[in-house]
Amino acid sequence: MQNSNVFVYGTLRRGFTYHHLLSGSPFLGDGRTADRYSLWMNEYPCVCRHPSLTRIHGELYRVTPAILALLDELEDHPRLYRREATAIVLNEHEAVRAWMYFFPKPQGIAIPSGDFADWG
């Protein structure tokens, strides 16, 4: 297996609870999703494909297969979250493909900005 791009939007971002899991992974930049999704907060943040309200803000990392497996375990993929490929825009112009964790249905309170850093 080869290294993969992963886009994180919640507790895996710098300054949040689980970022230490990415500490050895190269940071590729801040970005947002090319498509509109919705960001929700209940016990934890989650992104849903529908309703499509806003672009989701986050960070892009390059991870090894071992780190990807660790993230899958954290996100309980595929039982709770589902890891799916999506387009991420870096620096407002460069689009790249990356894995992102999606939740099957909205739950909790919507974060209208699409940025978990705006929560609370």
pLDDT, tens digit, 9 for 90 and up, residues 66-103: 999 999 999 999 999 999 999 999 987 889 999 999 99
Neighbours of 86 (CB within 10 A): 18
Kindly name the residue from 59, 75, 84, 92 that is annotated as catalytic.
Answer: 75
Q: How many domains does the chain have?
A: 1
Using 50, 70 and 90 to split pLDDT, how confident is the model at 49? very high
Residue 120 has pLDDT above 90, yes or no: no
Asked if residue 120 belongs to a domain, the reply is no
If you count them, how many residues does the chain have?
120
Q: Annotated catalytic, 84?
A: no
Asked if residue 94 belongs to a domain, the reply is yes
CATH number of the domain at 97, please: 3.10.490.10
**CA 61 vs CA 4, 14, 41, 67, 107: distances in Å:** 8, 11, 23, 11, 26
Instruction: Read off the amino acid at residue 66.
Output: A
Percent of the chain topping pLDDT 90: 94
Contact, 99 vs 58, CB < 8 A? no
Asked if residue 38 belongs to a domain, the reply is yes
Domain that holds residue 47: 4-114
